[in-house]
Amino acid sequence: MRAFYLILGVVLISIADSFAIDQNAMTNIYGRQYRSLNGKWETIIDVASEGIGRRVFQNRKPQSNSEFFEYSFDGGLRLDVPGDFNSQLPQLKYFESSVWYKKDVVVDKQSDKRYFIYFGGANYITEVYLNGELLGSHEGGFTPFQFEVTTQLKHGDNFFVVHVNNARRLDGIPSLRYDWWNYGGITRDVMLVETPQTYIHDYTIQLMPKYSKEVEVIIQLSGLQSAGKSVTISIPEVKVERQIKTDAGGQAKVSFKANLNLWSPDNPKLYDVIISTSDEKVHEKIGFRTIDTRGSEILLNGKPIFLKGINIHEEIPMREGRAYSESDAAMLLREAQKLGCNFIRFAHVSPFEKMVRMAEEMGMLTWEEIPAWQRITFDNPKTVSTGERMLKAMIARDKNRCGVIFWSIANETRPNIPGRNEALISYVELARSLDPTRLITAAFDNMRYNASTATLTLNDPVADVLDVVSINKYFGWYNPWPVSPDKLKVEIATDKPLIYSEFGSESMYGHDGDVEQAHSWGELHHEQLHRDHLLLFENIPNLRGVAPWVLFDFRSPSRLHQYYQNEWNRKGLISDKGMYKKAWYVMRDYYQKK
Ligand code: GCB
């Protein structure tokens, strides 16, 4: 009897475990058996968030003459998914509240399968309902999530209702203020995923850190049969095939040496990797490289590298909407390529998965960030754990992308924000424990200028624990040059690699202005400012990468100059209409010579 309860206990614990795992998104969604739920969804715009009280998610219809419901999706606005709602209708441009989405789905349900609804991303708080019942909720605009629907899904007719609210929140990440458009809604792909009863939930396949030829593989199954199951990993091109058995927790680990042609910007080689069990086969293109630091060098596959970078927002300026499709990714990434970049800082988020994959195929090294932008309420434990979840989800989704070399834990947060140092240091530790194969960084703007020595320094406990320190400084724009650029010394984290992760100024394409006047919003001043920074860069011994702010002019409601800005941040090297500004040529020439 005791043995029976013991076994029952183990079974219950593993069910609970697998349930917990399943709420985190499975890896490599595009390699799964799924049905896209993209397309038109019926919607209700709900400015005052009345829909919860009215139980809109039940989608009820009157059954008697006296019955009525003060809501209905029928005959209403239909919005595109994926796609932010703000850019789909002029009236929604400034909308920051609730939208209800509904989709009818007919399912041929198989009794030997499990089913999940998967969201690539929705901004900012999302509640998902199936056939009138709440499945769960998710906070955060830029990371994927899923809910298992195996028991709730019916054979035949079903309806999903999704409530997305993009109101700014003091306790959110980002918080109330940030310098980009708050595009809300179901902004990324949605799919209904079908898996076997025990399925391959997650796997990590990467070269071990430090210049090494050892590939480490960790595979996690989910389901009642996940213990003691055989799993095979193979890379046919290099004749690797290993069969391993999962442990009691459904995890299998193996490492092996392989003669791999390493991925790099000049050689973006990816291999077809296959993970399989008796029930399932998942394919993915994976590349192998190592990224390390040695003193102030960044080493890619053991060799020093300089990062010729650019900052990119997840926005298509010509459409004035959030980027989400392969053609959007191709447009943005090709422009980075034309500029001569080998490196992209995805600011300030983890962008949609197809963009990260395409960047890797093109040989771009990339930086992903959680949107911990400037003032975050780090003294609120709820906010700190939201950031942790974002970091985990970002790493979980893209840990097999060799192109991603940096996880960034924050942008321009200040040490005097209560709780900030403890929270960020804990994020660094968390990121390292989850992923030892990448470098951890953050961008700082709290540098001090010492006039007597003409030196810029940084004193920040968070910088001390990073692999690579990154600085954002707008000399010639927010701060006048304190001395001429060639006289300025930068002594920041001198024993580590330093990245100049933002610099720039605003200009209107086609308007020359006065080279001396920032307030002329002219291209001549913008161009000269970039030239001046190139002089400064020559003096920074540990500089290992630069990234101008920013590739395209982008929309931001906090830009209030009615003539030159009119809700646009004009720091793009390329205008909102796609025209190259003079500063673009300065950077293109610099990158060609580097
Ligand atoms: C920054 C921020 C970035 C802004 C930029 C600006 O330091 O990191 O998000 O858009 O400056 O233009 O002020």
Domain end (from 141, 163, 195): 195
Q: Whose CA is nearest to atom 4 of ligand 1?
A: 179
DSSP structural state of residue 485: T
- Cβ of residue 202 lying under 6 Å from some atom of ligand 1: no
Tell me which residue has its CA closest to atom 3 in ligand 1. Answer: 179
Residues 374 and 284 in one domain: no
311 close to ligand 1 (CB < 6 Angstrom):
no
Q: What percent of the chain has pLDDT over 90?
A: 95
- Ligand 1 atom with minimal separation from the 506 CA: 12
153-192 as b/e: b if 16+ CB within 10 A: beeeebbbbbbbbbeebeebbbbeebbbbbbbbbbbbbbb
Average pLDDT for residues 515-540, to the nearest whole number?
A: 98
CB 427 within 8 A of CB 391: yes
Give the residue numbers spanning the domain of 230: 199-288
Which amino acid is located at 214 in the chain?
E
Q: Which amino acid is at 542?
A: N
Please give the distance, rounded to the nearest whole angstrom, from the Cα atom of residue 585 to the centre of ligand 1. 22
Residue 474 CA to ligand 1 centre (angstroms): 9
Over 90: is that where the pLDDT of 558 sits?
yes
Report whether pLDDT(409) > 60. yes
Q: How far, in Å, are 217, 241, 276, 303, 563 from residue 213 at the CA level? A: 13, 16, 23, 15, 57
CA of 364 to the centre of ligand 1 (A): 23
Q: Which atom of ligand 1 is nearest to the CA of 472?
A: 7
**For residue 3, pLDDT beyond 60:** no
Instruction: Give yes or no for residue 198 CB within 6 A of ligand 1.
Output: no
Ligand 1 atom closest to the CA of 347, numbered from 1: 9
What's the CATH number where 332 sits? 3.20.20.80
> Is the Cβ atom of 502 under 6 angstroms away from ligand 1?
yes
- In short, whether 569's Cβ falls inside 6 Å of ligand 1 is yes
CA of 569 to the centre of ligand 1 (A): 9
Domain boundary, last residue among 142, 176, 195: 195
The verdict on the CB of residue 472 being under 6 Å from ligand 1 is yes
Query: Does the Cβ of 411 fall within 6 Å of ligand 1?
Result: yes
Same domain, yes or no: 552 and 414: yes
Distance 179 CA to ligand 1 centre (A): 6
Q: Answer yes or no: is the C-beta of 549 below 6 A from any ligand 1 atom.
A: yes
Statement to judge: residues 498 and 361 lie in one domain:
yes
Longest dimension (CA), the chain: 88
Do 300 and 382 lie in one domain? The reply is yes
The predicted structure's pLDDT at residue 5: 41
Q: State whether 346 and 247 are in the same domain.
A: no
- Which atom of ligand 1 is nearest to 412's Cα? 8
Who contacts 310 (Cβ-Cβ below 8 Å, separation ≥6)? Answer: 336, 339, 341, 343, 344, 345, 547, 548, 550, 551, 573, 587
pLDDT at 501: 99
Q: What percent of the chain has pLDDT over 70?
A: 96
CATH number of the domain at 266, please: 2.60.40.10
Verify whether ligand 1 is closer than 6 Å to residue 501 (CB atom): no
Give the per-residue pLDDT at 14. 38
Is 475 found in the same domain as 414?
A: yes
Q: Is the CB of 412 under 6 A from ligand 1?
A: yes
C-alpha to C-alpha distance for 379 and 279, rounded to whole angstroms:
47
Q: Are residues 299 and 356 in the same domain?
A: yes
- For residues 384-412, give the mean pLDDT: 98
Q: Which amino acid is at 40?
A: K
* pLDDT above 70 for 20: no
Based on the domain organization, do 142 and 243 belong to the same domain?
Answer: no
**Cα gap 555→560, rounded to integer Å:** 11
273 in the same domain as 247: yes
Q: 576 and 457, same structural domain? A: yes
**Cis bond upstream, residue 183 (ω within 30):** no
| pLDDT at residue 213, as a whole number | 86
Residues near 438 by beta carbon (within 8 Å), at least 6 away in sequence: 291, 404, 405, 406, 407, 431
Residue among 211, 193, 163, 178 nearest 313 (CA): 178
Q: Which residue's C-alpha comes closest to atom 7 of ligand 1?
A: 472
Q: Is the domain of 303 the same as that of 239?
A: no
In this predicted structure, what is the pLDDT of residue 22?
A: 39
What would the 3-class secondary structure string for 230-289 be?
Answer: EEEEEEHHHCEEEEEECCCCCEEEEEEECCCCCCECCECCCEEEEEECCCCEEEEEECCC
- Model pLDDT, residue 209: 83
Tokens of residue 524, six digits: 């001549």
Query: What is the band of 28 on the pLDDT scale with cuts at 50, 70, 90?
Result: very high
Give me the pLDDT at residue 210, please: 79
Choosing from 288, 319, 335, the residue where a domain stops is 288
Tell me how far apart the alpha carbons of residues 74 and 93 are, in angstroms, rounded to a whole number. Answer: 23
Residue ID of nearest Cα to ligand 1 atom 10: 179
CA of 94 to the centre of ligand 1 (A): 21
Ligand 1 centroid vs 30 CA: distance in angstroms? Answer: 33
Interval between CA 351 and ligand 1 midpoint (Å): 17
Model pLDDT, residue 23: 77
Mean pLDDT, the chain, integer = 95
Residue 301: predicted pLDDT: 96
How far from chain centre, in Å, is Cα 273?
24
CATH number at residue 40: 2.60.120.260
Helices (H), 318-375: 326-338, 353-361
Whole-prediction pTM value?
A: 0.96
Mutation pick for ligand 1 pocket among 175, 177, 178, 179 (CB with most ligand atoms within 8 Å) = 179
Mutation test residue for ligand 1: of 345, 472, 570, the one with most atoms within 8 Å of CB: 472
Top mutation candidate among 412, 549, 569 for ligand 1, by most atoms within 8 Å of CB: 549
Rounded Cα gap, residues 594 and 508, in angstroms: 28
Residue 237, phi then psi, degrees to nearest 5: -60, -30
- The residue length of the chain stands at 594
* Dist. CA 535 → ligand 1 center (Å): 22
- 52-107 pLDDT, tens digit each: 999 999 999 999 999 999 999 999 999 999 999 999 999 999 999 999 999 999 99
Query: What is the whole-number distance in angstroms between the Cα of residue 452 and the centre of ligand 1?
Result: 28
pLDDT at res. 211 = 77
- Return the H-helix or E-strand segment holding 537: helix 523-538
271 pLDDT above the threshold of 50: yes
- Give the chain's domain count: 3
Ligand 1 in reach of 292 Cβ (< 6 A) = no
Q: 369: Cβ below 6 Å to ligand 1?
A: no
What pLDDT is attached to residue 10? 39
Atom of ligand 1 nearest to the CA of 178: 9
Same domain, 60 and 123: yes
C-alpha of residue 315 to centroid of ligand 1, in Å: 15
Closest ligand 1 atom, residue 571 Cα = 12
The residue whose C-alpha atom lies closest to atom 9 belonging to ligand 1 is 179
